Amino acid sequence: MPSFLIGALLLPLVIFFAWTASRSANPAGTAVAVRRNDPPSASGRAVSYSTAGQPGVQIVLKYGRAEGEIGMVLGHGQPPVGPESFAVGKDGGILVADVVNQRVVVYSSNGTYVRSISLPGLALGDVTTDRQGRVYVYDQVRRALHQYDTVGTLRSTLNLNPTDIDTRGYFHVTGDAVYFADAAARDVLVATVQDGLLLAADKSVERTTDGIHGESGRIYSLSVDRGQALGLQVRDPAAGSAARKLEVSLPGIVSARYVGEDQAQRFYIQTEKLAGTNIMLEVLAFSPAGEPLAATRLPENDYAIWTAKLVDVRGDGTIVQFLPQQDQAKLNLFAN
């Protein structure tokens, strides 16, 4: 049998086993940082609700192999294999990591299909974009980052040290730095962008940060007093001021994760709470000064289908939820 045919037959198996390993390492697709001995903060305020459960816009994405569709494999007695990540571009467009069809599918801000970036041979584990619209793809089998321009032409590739991403969450580009958010909600610097191309991170400097970097340069550190409250610390290294601390009472909380900032530098935190036997997914919005603004309740995620990211936020504050389900996927847009 020709070698190229053997490779073509083996690649889906490789992708499947890599997907299974990543799923077992982080089955809920969320990062949890539980710190039971944090000193109490001055605030124990609750958050008011502005939206409850109904998206302003809902876009249905069909499963299949045609242009604009996303691949999904549902095997008897096996976990489903489907899209594992998505990202919101600076222009509001939405990129979906189509694992099965080995491509990144790009939609406009209103969900209209724009184009696909074909990635034959890649075990597509994650996708993100930067301020210039360049697209970054993570190959979870080869542990490599691939960078593409705005029309999908490969610009650079960087092999990563597997020890840097042993417990990876999602990855993101902030300024000229490429980070993986690990399972403890810390950023790990894995690469930089210089002259528009990927370069390995400087090994002589500390590359792990206690918290997640926002586009503004601020760093967000989260803690969860399980079942009771969310702890939040915001640091601005450029300002040199003391970190702001906040505690929000959230009965039933089990996890928290930084989502992103909007153009007004409001920031957003994803939380999961237990409500009886159900998991309630919410996104909390905060002012730049750290004051709670509102909470948006989102439809429950189908946790049988693992994704590296559940929600993202646009520059105008619109919350975007990518919701893969057994029969179809949905893009839910919540104005904030």
Q: Give residue-wise pLDDT tens across range 292-321.
A: 999 999 998 777 777 888 899 999 999 999
Task: List Cβ neighbours of 63 (8 Å cut-off, separation of 6 or more).
Answer: 69, 70, 71, 72, 82, 327, 328, 329
Among residues 27, 30, 37, the alpha carbon closest in space to that of 231 is found at 37
pTM: 0.82
* pLDDT at 38 (0 to 100): 35
Among residues 225, 212, 137, the alpha carbon closest in space to that of 174 is found at 212
Q: Give residue-wise pLDDT tens across range 173-207.
A: 999 999 998 877 899 999 999 999 999 998 888 88
CATH class of the structural domain 3-334: mainly beta
Q: Give residue-wise pLDDT tens across range 132-160.
A: 999 999 998 888 999 999 888 999 999 98
Q: Give residue-wise pLDDT tens across range 63-112.
A: 999 999 999 998 777 888 899 899 999 899 999 999 999 999 999 998 89
In angstroms, the CA 222 to CA 31 distance is: 10
Structure tokens at 143: 């542990």
**What is the CA 213 to chain-centroid distance, rounded?**
13
Structure tokens at 149: 């321009």
- Coil, strand or helix at 163: helix
Burial bucket for residue 102 (CB in 10 Å: 0-12, 13-18, 19+):
buried
Q: Give residue-wise pLDDT tens across range 1-27.
A: 444 333 444 444 444 444 444 443 333
* pLDDT at 319 (0 to 100): 96
Structure tokens at 228: 């009771």
Q: Give me the DSSP letters along 169-224.
A: EEEEEETTEEEEEETTS-EEEEEEEETTEEEEPPTTS--EESSEE-TTS-EEEEEE
In angstroms, the CA 43 to CA 234 distance is: 14
